[in-house]
Amino acid sequence: MRQRVETLVNNLNKTIVGKTDAIRLVLVALFSGGHALLEDVPGVGKTLLAKSLAQSIDGGFQRIQCTPDLLPTDVTGTNIWNPSSGEFQFMPGPVFTNILLADEINRATPRTQSALLEVMEEHQVTTDGASRLVPDPFFVIATQNPVEYQGTFPLPEAQMDRFALSFSLGYPTEVEELSMLQRLSTTVDKTPIQPCITLDEVLSLRRHCAQVAIEASLQQYILDLVRATRRHNDITLGVSPRGTVAFYRAVQALAYLEGRDYAIPDDVKTLTLPVLTHRLIPAGNSRPQLLIKQLLEATAIP
Q: Where are the domains of the chain?
A: 2-183, 212-298
When computed from its CA atoms, the radius of gyration of the chain, rounded to whole angstroms, is 20
159-162 long-range CB contacts below 8 Å, 24 or more apart?
A: 159/113, 159/114, 159/116, 159/117, 160/37, 160/278, 160/279, 161/240, 161/242, 161/243, 161/279, 162/35, 162/116, 162/117, 162/120, 162/121, 162/242
For residue 48, give the nearest of 246, 188, 249, 193 by alpha carbon.
Answer: 193
Q: Do residues 206 and 31 make contact, with C-beta atoms less than 8 angstroms apart?
A: yes
Q: Which of 141-145, 157-161, 189-193, 214-218 has the highest mean predicted lDDT (pLDDT)?
A: 214-218
Residue 189 has pLDDT above 60, yes or no: no
SS3 sequence, 15-50? CCCCCHHHHHHHHHHHHCCCCEEEECCCCCCHHHHH
pLDDT computed for residue 150 by the predictor = 67
| 74: Cα separation from own chain's centroid | 21
CATH superfamily of 212-298: Magnesium chelatase subunit I, C-Terminal domain (1.10.8.80)
pLDDT tens-place string over residues 133-153: 999 999 999 988 776 566 778
pLDDT higher than 70, residue 275: yes
Q: How many CA atoms lie within 13 A of 265 on its CB side?
A: 10
pLDDT digits (tens, 9 = 90+) for 62-103: 999 999 999 999 999 988 888 888 888 889 999 999 999 998
Evaluate if residue 188 carries a pLDDT over 60: no
- When the candidates are 3.40.640.10, 3.30.1490.100, 3.100.10.20, 3.40.50.300, the CATH number that belongs to 2-183 is 3.40.50.300
49-61 pLDDT, tens digit per residue, is: 888 888 899 888 8
Q: What is the pLDDT of residue 147?
A: 62
Lowest-pLDDT choice from 14-18, 108-112, 150-154, 194-198: 150-154
Percent of the chain predicted with pLDDT > 70: 97
Helix, strand, coil share of the chain (percent; to 5) = 45, 20, 35
- The residue-averaged pLDDT of 5-33 equals 89
Residue 233 confidence (pLDDT): 87
User: For the chain, how far is it from start to end, CA to CA, in angstroms?
Assistant: 30
